[in-house]
Structure 1
């Protein structure tokens, strides 16, 4: 039980703290790709948007793409409605009459984002594909800063830098922002060291047409699948911090929990599909995949093992009585304390961060059970917009 306890504790700490520290050492002296397209040789770009009931954001989204500094004659926008029941399609058609580079596809059957994206890609003409969500708003330099890296033929995928909007102190948006910012840093270091960024920000990233792979039916995390297929082909996946996009960060614990459950189930889907990339573990892909993703996905099981083994050890050693008390305090005491504070409108970020950590690990565990039970559809309800 002693070995089980300390290994479980180590794996949790390793994924969240030790691995990022190792990256900070390895990244010293590493430089970003500097093989860029000249302005007179820019490729044709297809912006791919799968939309479901996005009337509240679709006009702002299209305006942000149209106002990009990328040349209009090198750009096309394809929007596919996944059987929307609101005004998404009428709004898009109205804009397409003013801007011919917008192409609209109204699919009558609700199939889920991956199937819509696959269809849109088959209708696109661009050498480079930008896959983006309707609620992710572009800056003027988003496209050009993404696309310039594809001059380097070793690069197959480039990620954007998502900046959060709509932060509220009373919810979990600040904790989500902290988590996302840390993830951006980790992925940036992975891309600089090995070119093996572990998954893009799913709301907006670019992939070379020749490196795009159709996403299988019933897939729940399509962006990670596409990313890993790029790495499987021996190409690099990197991110570009100057390619800025904006998104409202989630503020509702309930909505974010539901989203994380879906992502967790999709993560285990992809683990089954790409488990061969864990070997050899000393390669950039294998090391990053294991350290950044796989150990973190199994984090809930490590937390459970640490608790169970700690209960046994506490019966035989006073020291482990204190570690058990600490675990119980973190897992149950702090969430209860946070609940009391919220009742009197007090919001402590440190306390909320601990609650967020355990809630997201619970979502990982629920997602694992959902995966083991079997995934029968790739359709899901999007997180509410403009929270």
Structure 2
């Protein structure tokens, strides 16, 4: 009997996180507007400091900086700070060339690898703007992106604003389509969390804005700095929202192994943040606690839920035909990644099978990240995912 209760409890948790919670958000966000207290007069706009840590980004750094300079935001109110984390591919030379063209660029070259967090902390000490915009080198801005991010800070309750990430480089032979679908779904969920409760569960990380006074130096062992900063904002009682008109473009990863490695790092960082901000889970009936539990905690514990779901199903499968069917379904789902890998080798790509592969791979990455976090993390220096495929 206990095994039956546990089994259906686990089924409910997965169903709640992946189905019920998104549906509830869709229902509650109907007819709700995002923040409407915004800057409309360019003369009122606050000063902005753009902080960008780069490492071996020679393929995109020129396009990225040009996308910033092409902004509709008043340039005299923008400070651009770029830190090269001991790049070795010629990025530094391109930055120096751009500096000759645009003397107001502030460049900092690290003599050794510091990690993204370490570079951002260095740039933060030099930042003068009221609003900080943290952005990655491979994320390209539209002309109005900065304005759409910063306009919300007229509302004193808003502490962080995230952009709307659009993906490029989609191919059918890898996981880029599945990754794009996952990111798009996440953005919709986060946008609705912000609309309803002002508790968006973390920015996409590629480009977001935060009030200077709410930023704090990133600890050197923190792996997922964007989620860390977002939760600091919520912890201090400010709102965190997503702006769908602040569009940016990023080349999504297509290689499963590369994406798996990235997801392991993110997962390890997620468990760091879970421990650090565990108090925000309670009370679970409050918006922030409910979002944290439904959107993040259940997902992050997904590998353990799946493992115990299989174990309990094995214990009760003889009790009723229903449990024999659920066990068969689990067996088929577990076999799909193997089948998909075989089909991929002979150039057969079935979208639905790839989604199942992506799901199990990401849960395996969560498990690996959990174990990595248990072993202890001493630095946030990491090798970026290879993109531009």
Partner of 1:196: 199
- The unaligned stretches of length 5 or more in structure 2 are none
Match of 1:177 among 180, 184, 193: 180
Per-residue deviation, 1:336: 2.4
Distance 1:339 1:270 in 2: 33
Task: Indicate if the aligned counterparts of 2:281 and 2:293 stay in contact, CA closer than 8 A.
Answer: yes
Q: Distance in 2 between matches of 1:295 and 1:309?
A: 18
Counterpart secondary structure, 1:237: strand
* 3-state DSSP of counterpart to 2:248: strand
Q: TM-score, normalised by structure 1?
A: 0.98
Q: Determine if contact 2:42/2:74 at 8 Å carries over to the other structure.
A: no
Q: In structure 1, how many angstroms separate the alpha carbons of the residues matched to 2:261 and 2:342?
A: 24
| CA distance in 1 between partners of 2:173 and 2:89 (Å) | 30
Matches within 5 A, 1:264-303: 264-303=267-306
Asked if the contact 2:281–2:289 (Cα under 8 Å) also holds between the matched residues in 1, the reply is yes
Q: Determine helix, strand or coil for the equivalent of 2:277.
A: helix
Alignment partner of 1:48 is 2:51 = yes
Tell me whether 1:323 sits opposite 2:288 in the alignment: no
How much has 1:9 moved relative to structure 2? 1.3
Aligned position for 2:24 = 22
SS in structure 2 opposite 1:376?
A: coil
Q: 2:15 — aligned with what? A: 13
* CA distance, structure 2, for counterparts of residue 101 and residue 360 of structure 1: 42
1:3 to 2, 5, 8: 5
* Matched residue, 2:99: 96
Q: Is the 8 A contact 2:267 2:370 kept in 1?
A: yes
Mean Cα deviation higher: 371-380 or 258-267: 371-380
The RMSD of aligned alpha carbons is 1.0
Distance 2:226 2:341 in 1: 35
Superimposed CA distance per residue, residues 288-331 of structure 1 (whole angstroms, 9 cap, x where no aligned partner): 01110011100110000000010111133333122111101001
The alignment partner of 1:171 has SS state of: coil
Question: Residues of 2 paired with 1:39 and 1:319: CA distance?
Answer: 63
Number of residues of Structure 1 aligned to a counterpart in Structure 2: 386
Work out whether 1:131 is the aligned partner of 2:138.
no
Is the 8 Å Cα contact of residues 252 and 387 (structure 2) preserved in structure 1?
no
What's the secondary structure of 2:324's corresponding residue? helix
Query: CA separation in 1, counterparts of 2:322 and 2:90?
Result: 62
Q: CA deviation at 1:144?
A: 0.8
Kept in 2: contact 1:75–1:101 (CA 8 A): no
Whole-angstrom CA distance in 1 between matches of 2:120 and 2:126: 10
Distance 1:100 1:242 in 2: 30
